[in-house]
Amino acid sequence: MQEGKTGIPVQGEIGVPDGAGVFEAGGAEGSEGAATEWRGVPRELLRMRRLMLVLTMPPLAVLTAVLLGWLVTPALAAAGALWLLLAAWCWQVLERNWRSWRYAERADDLLISRGVLWQELTVVPYGRMQLVEVTSGPLERHFGLATVQLRTAASGTDARIPGLEPAEAARLRDQLTELGEARSAGL
């Protein structure tokens, strides 16, 4: 039996599928015995993060090459290429990270799964939610994305789901608020 971030035991083994969309995890069961239906986040989140990578790494490579070549020796200017190698590695890691983000709505709680090397499963009981926020910064709005932020009574157990489509984020906010109120939460 696994334990989530809130320390609440999770029954069964939770499979984390690849790619966006709706998935059913084999062997995972919700509180009422139904299979857990996992949802991925849209691919636009990956595109946004890769754009941020492209906008930051090449300028760092040029700046490093110019400073090392000018201040130390021209031979060290090639060290700026290390930023480009790091960018190539991050390009692949970002996709794996994007695939790891999943969430599932169960009868009594919300599951959020993420992480590649360190996989993390957060269980947010509807009755413990204090606040559900939907935020969208300028870059997220450009890509048509929003983030759902969940706040609980314990500050260390706050959770978020990034990169949702605004309609899905609003639906999730309304659904979580309704379920929280039904369970006498402080929403």
Q: Is the pLDDT of residue 129 over 80?
A: yes
Annotate 49-110 with DSSP letters as a single string. Answer: HHHHHHHHHHHHHHHHHHHHHHHT-GGGGGGGHHHHHHHHHHHHHHHHHHHH-EEEE-SSEE
Q: What is the pLDDT of residue 165?
A: 95
Please state the pTM of the whole predicted model.
0.73
State pLDDT tens for residues 10-66.
433 344 444 455 555 444 444 445 678 999 999 999 999 999 999 999 999 999 999
Tokens describing residue 184: 């006498």
Question: Amino acid letter at 129?
Answer: M
pLDDT, tens digit, for every residue of 51-62?
999 999 999 999
Residue 158: predicted pLDDT: 74
User: How do residues 87-111 score in pLDDT, each as one tens digit?
Assistant: 999 999 999 999 999 999 998 899 9
